[in-house]
Structure 1
Amino acid sequence: MKRLATHRIGIDQGDNVLFSDYEDGGEMWTGEGPRERRKPVRFSDTFRSVPAVHCALSMWDVDHAHNVRADVSAENVTETGFDLVFRTWGDTRVARARVGWMAIGEVADDDDWDLY
């Protein structure tokens, strides 16, 4: 569990389109087997330590004739950002996907005295 000083809690959030493969026949729409799409995300301000990041699908458009499989995660999380990752596999066909995220962690305070 992360314990945060109450006056130093920072929350950043966003909603990012990861891909739209339907128009150009991209691999998420036409491919099979394991597929992955990554998008680097930068926080609007720097956290003092690595924040907790939550990701969730906010929109996806999938082919109803195939099984629907998806894995959404935040990887390589640092104080300045992370990689938003969408994975699928098998015969799943995804036309487009948008992922919402929220980062919660400690931020600098005006009263901090960083001497070293």
Structure 2
Amino acid sequence: MKKLRSSFVGVDSGDVVLFTDFEDGGEMWTGRGQRERRRRIKFSEPYRKIPTVQLSPSLWDMDAATVLRADIVAEAVTENGFDMVFRTWGDTRVARIRISWTAIGEILDDGDWDLY
């Protein structure tokens, strides 16, 4: 459990279209080639410490003729942002995906200052 010592808690969020491979015959739609997409997401302002980040699909456009397989994860989370990562494998065909994210954590207070 993450315990926040500050009364200054920040919640930042967004909704990102990660790719639309069906439009141009991209690798996620054809089922061949690179089976991972990632995008660096920057928070609207830095957190005091590394926040908790939650991801969820908000648009899931998949080919119904194949098995649906996906892994969605936040990697390389820092006080300033994170990498949004979507992976699939096998014969899964993904036309497009949009991912919602929420970050919750301690934010800086006007009384916080760093001497170094």
The structure-2 alpha-carbon separation of the partners of 1:80 and 1:103, relative to structure 1 and needing over 3 Å to count, comes to same
Aligned to 1:26: 26
Count of equivalent residues: 116
The structure-2 alpha-carbon separation of the partners of 1:40 and 1:112, relative to structure 1 and needing over 3 Å to count, comes to same
- Provide the C-alpha distance between the structure 1 equivalents of 2:4 and 2:111, rounded to a whole number of angstroms: 16
| Aligned partner letter, 1:9 | V
CA RMSD, Structure 1 to Structure 2 (Å): 1.5
What is the TM-score normalised by the length of structure 2? Answer: 0.93
Contact 1:32 1:90 in 2 (8 A): no
| Aligned partner letter, 1:41 | I
Aligned to 2:111: 111
| Aligned partner letter, 2:3 | R
What is the TM-score normalised by the length of structure 1? Answer: 0.93
Aligned to 1:8: 8
- What are structure 1's unaligned runs of at least 5 residues? none
Contact 1:32 1:92 in 2 (8 A): no
